[in-house]
């Protein structure tokens, strides 16, 4: 059973993710209509700072909030139409990204291990899997759509590094014992 403390952390972090889309205006890559946002920074950070269940639920709550219509997705959009649109694959996979980062992170904050796992999950796995939906919705060849995502890689590496720096600098352990 989840305690009030954990529910509070989960809800608060879902709010952080929701607000993150307003911190910078979405920058969209023309061919694939995928915007650059700060969402993934918070998705990755949730995986690093929380237990697997807390990470998964905080991001799942964010996805649910947007799915019911609140404007928490990029471009201040919300609703199921976003989830069935080109970026839906990314959004649907976000809870699993946080979950897997939380499961696979090192117990000792081993920088090399954590950054390699974080990059593998948040960039390699996410891109390859979300691109299936992206290429279908845009009627693009899978490989053409995937290549069009390459400009995001340096930005996502920066977001991964920022999330990890925040995680390493946190004076307290957010994960429940």
Q: What is the pLDDT of residue 176?
A: 53
Residue 176 lies in a domain: no
Spans of the chain, pLDDT less than 50: none
Q: Which of 99, 101, 140 is nearest to 117 (CA)?
A: 101
Q: What is the pLDDT of residue 50?
A: 96
Q: What is the pLDDT of residue 159?
A: 96
Full domain range(s) for residue 16: 4-169
Q: Which of 174, 8, 165, 18 is nearest to 94 (CA)?
A: 18
Residue 92 lies in a domain: yes
Q: What is the pLDDT of residue 35?
A: 80
Q: What is the pLDDT of residue 175?
A: 61
For residue 28, list its beta bridge partners. 35
Specify the residue for token string 């691109």.
131
Residue 174 lies in a domain: no
Which segments of 30-151 does DSSP mark as H helices, in order?
39-49, 52-67, 80-83, 88-104, 111-119, 126-137, 142-148
Residue 10 lies in a domain: yes
CATH number, domain containing residue 90: 1.10.1760.20
SS3 13: helix
Residue 175 lies in a domain: no
- pLDDT digits over 95-127, tens only? 999 999 999 999 999 999 999 999 999 999 999
DSSP single-letter state for residue 77: B
Residue 115 lies in a domain: yes
Quote the radius of gyration of the chain (alpha carbons, Å): 16
pTM tops 0.85? yes
Residue 177 lies in a domain: no
């Amino acid at each position: 059973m989840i305690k009030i403390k954990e529910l509070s952390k989960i809800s608060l972090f879902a709010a952080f993710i929701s607000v993150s889309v307003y911190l910078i205006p979405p920058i969209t890559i023309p061919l694939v209509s995928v915007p650059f946002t700060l969402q993934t920074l918070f998705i990755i950070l949730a995986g690093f700072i929380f237990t697997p269940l807390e990470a998964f639920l905080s991001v799942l709550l964010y996805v649910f909030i947007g799915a019911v219509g609140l404007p928490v997705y990029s471009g201040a959009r919300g609703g199921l139409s976003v989830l069935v649109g080109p970026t839906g694959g990314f959004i649907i996979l976000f809870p699993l990204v946080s979950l897997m980062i939380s499961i696979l992170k090192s117990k000792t904050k081993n920088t090399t291990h954590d950054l390699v796992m974080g990059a593998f999950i948040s960039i390699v796995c996410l891109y390859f899997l979300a691109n299936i939906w992206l290429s279908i919705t845009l009627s693009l060849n899978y490989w053409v759509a995937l290549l069009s995502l390459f400009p995001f890689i340096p930005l996502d590496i920066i977001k991964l590094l920022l999330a990890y720096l925040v995680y390493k600098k946190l004076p307290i352990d957010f994960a429940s014992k």
